[in-house]
Amino acid sequence: MSFKSVNPADGNTIREVDAFTHEQLESTLQSVADATADWKVRAIEERCALMQEAAAVLRKHVDEYAEIIVQEMGKPITEARAEVEKCGLVCDYYAETGPRFLADEIIETDAGRSLVAFQPLGTVLAVMPWNFPFWQVFRFAAPTLVAGNTGLLKHASNVPLCALAIESVFHEAGFPDGVFRTLMIQSSRVADVIADPRVHAVTLTGSEPAGREVAATAGANIKKSLLELGGSDPFIVLEDADLELAVHDGITSRFLNTGQSCIAAKRFILVEAIAEEFLQRFKAAVESLPFGDPMDPDTRVGPLARIDLRDALHHQVIDSIAAGAVPVTGCNPEARDGAWYQPSILDRVAPGMCAWSEELFGPVALVIRARDEADAIRIANITDFGLGGSVWTADSARGERIARQIDCGCAFVNGMVKSDPRLPFGGVKHSGYGRELSQLGIREFVNAKTIWIR
């Protein structure tokens, strides 16, 4: 068994990486277990200094890592470089804030002294996706390792070279052997790793079915889990919105990473008063997007990550059109080798269509018409997902009021939904539970221990 690294721009195999044998998996798990006892008692200042070194390594090799990302999953090179740079940012953030976030909290009680201490749980397994193959890992790894935990990475099977490169970052930065290791294992072997007594918690970013399996296994073994799953983010445009700004940010939000983002603007909910004007402007912007070679710095939309993902997306599109959705532009695979799909818009999306109820993970924008503000809020919340959402209006107070009514983990007013190390990130409903980033993120995998002293 091996993992194939395939370039989605042309379908050519770059390299194959052998899967771990039983003996290799056992050896790796034990090496991490051996490192855990020492790592968790090291001074946090030491852990933070090493995390700053990891940031320096990322910046030193930014072009090399970005090229691996492009070759393995097709991300446009300019975005790939930005992703690696953002990983350096999150490493620096937790290196600087970790000591403050994890400092003892003194609580006044009837004791002579009482406090809450934040202590590491042990080893955390991360099951990570291919769409942001560096960022998703580092937003877990930076806070987890600074907190004194060790890390295991089970990366998506189509990005094995990214997985190996990430492990090399921590090695080059000087982290002790075993503090962070990559597992080259199939998904079918994940449950056994979660159940292993040397693993103490698990975090997953991925699909809803994968989340259900990981959560069930973690629960059966009474281990902490965090899930960041899919999204169907609403992008509500009201009658008083700045349409130029809304179209500009809507294009970025929907087509960043070729539309392969959980927090992309999936559903453009337009009140009738501005629907036609917005759609006219939006169509022109979509049709002018630079679409092609992901190694070209000017490219905005490249190939999807895999052929099967492109085919699944097209099936959702044609099913929705058959049910009454109106194709505005695109809505077809591109006739060339590789996993290409045209930047697309589907209008008049309505209940009963798969585009209404399912997440479309690719460069397809869905337009839904709303009568007014109240109808837009109602439509925004008719979904099993609850990751992000945005509201576009000239009245910021109105926008905040509406943002508070959207069922999601992060709501933005006059700005596209994005992750920021300073702000907690995560969802509700079928988008998962738990929070990454900010102070909440570093405290997800610690023991908040009460200490009471007479």
- Whole-angstrom CA distances from 212 to 18, 226, 248 are 28, 11, 36
Summarize the confidence of residues 192-211 as an average pLDDT.
Answer: 98
Look up 276 and say whether it is catalytic: no
Cα of 99 vs its chain's centroid, Å: 26
Summarize the confidence of residues 342-356 as an average pLDDT.
Answer: 97
Share of the chain above pLDDT 90, in %: 99
Structural contact between residues 225 and 202, judged by C-beta atoms closer than 8 angstroms: yes
Could you write out the DSSP letters of every residue in 35-75? HHHHHHHS-HHHHHHHHHHHHHHHHHTHHHHHHHHHHHH--
Burial grade of 248 (CB within 10 A; 0-12, 13-18, 19 or more): middle
Alpha-carbon span 179 to 226, nearest angstrom: 20
Alpha-carbon span 158 to 130, nearest angstrom: 7
Structural contact between residues 219 and 225, judged by C-beta atoms closer than 8 angstroms: yes
Structural contact between residues 44 and 264, judged by C-beta atoms closer than 8 angstroms: no
Alpha-carbon span 241 to 231, nearest angstrom: 24
Average pLDDT, the chain: 98
Summarize the confidence of residues 204-228 as an average pLDDT.
Answer: 98
Asked whether residue 1 carries a pLDDT value surpassing 90, the answer given is no
Please write the tens of the pLDDT for every residue from 78-111. 999 999 999 999 999 999 999 999 999 999 999 9
Of the residues 87, 91, 162, 262, only one is catalytic, namely: 262
Summarize the confidence of residues 149-178 as an average pLDDT.
Answer: 98
pTM (2 d.p.): 0.97
Residue 159: pLDDT band (50, 70, 90) is: very high
Please write the tens of the pLDDT for every residue from 370-422. 999 999 999 999 999 999 999 999 999 999 999 999 999 999 999 999 999 99
Of the residues 72, 228, 358, 359, only one is catalytic, namely: 228
Residue 364: pLDDT band (50, 70, 90) is: very high
Ordered structural domains, the chain, with CATH: 2-228+429-453 (3.40.605.10), 233-413 (3.40.309.10)
Look up 262 and say whether it is catalytic: yes
Nearest to 278 by CA among 379, 396, 368, 383: 368
pLDDT of 280 reads 98
Structural contact between residues 373 and 238, judged by C-beta atoms closer than 8 angstroms: yes
Residue 165: pLDDT band (50, 70, 90) is: very high
Summarize the confidence of residues 238-262 as an average pLDDT.
Answer: 98
Which residues make Cβ contacts (< 8 Å) with residue 98, sequence separation at least 6? 44, 47, 48, 51, 143, 146, 147, 442
- 3-state DSSP helix/strand/coil % of the chain, to nearest 5: 45, 20, 35
Residue 129: pLDDT band (50, 70, 90) is: very high
